[in-house]
Amino acid sequence: MNEDFILITGANGEVGHGLIKHLAKVGHKKIIAFSRRPLSEELQPFVSHPLAMDVQDLAGLTELFENHNITTVYHLASILSTKAEHDPVLAHNINVNGTMNLLKLCAMKMEKTGKPVKFIYPSSIAVHAIPNLEVKAQAGKVKENDYVQSTTMYGINKLYCENLGRYFNSHYKQLSYAPDERPYVDFRALRFPGLISADTMPTGGTSDYGPEMIHAAASNRHYNCFVRPDSTLPFMVMPDAIKSLVMLHAADRKRLTQTVYNVTSFSPTAQEIYEVTKAAFPNADIDFVPDVNRQGIVDSWPADIDDSAARKDWDWQPDYDFERAINEYLIPAIRQRYA
Q: Which residues bind ligand AKB (CB under 6 A)?
A: 80-81, 124-126, 154, 192, 194, 202, 205-207
CA torsion sign, 89 to 93 to 94 to 96?
positive
Minimum CB distance to ligand AKB, residue 233 (Å)? 7
| Cβ 152 vs Cβ 86: under 8 Å | no
Minimum CB distance to ligand AKB, residue 221 (Å)? 20
| Cβ 329 vs Cβ 239: under 8 Å | yes
Eight-class DSSP state of 77: -
Inter-axis angle of helices 98-113 and 58-67, nearest 10: 30
- For the chain, give the number of residues: 339
Nearer to ligand AKB, 26 or 89 (CB): 89
Nearer to ligand AKB, 197 or 206 (CB): 206
**List of residues 6+ apart from 218 with CB closer than 8 A:** 280, 281, 334, 335, 337, 338
Q: How far apart are CA 169 and CA 187, in angstroms?
A: 6
Tell me the residue number closest to ligand AKB, measured at CB.
205
Identify which of 132, 138, 145 has the alpha carbon closest to the alpha carbon of residue 300: 132
Minimum CB distance to ligand AKB, residue 231 (Å)? 13
Nearer to ligand AKB, 81 or 232 (CB): 81
Q: Residue 185 in 3-state DSSP?
A: coil
Minimum CB distance to ligand AKB, residue 14 (Å)? 9
Minimum CB distance to ligand AKB, residue 227 (Å)? 11
Minimum CB distance to ligand AKB, residue 205 (Å)? 3
Q: Parallel, antiparallel, or unpaired for β 186-192 and 260-262?
A: parallel
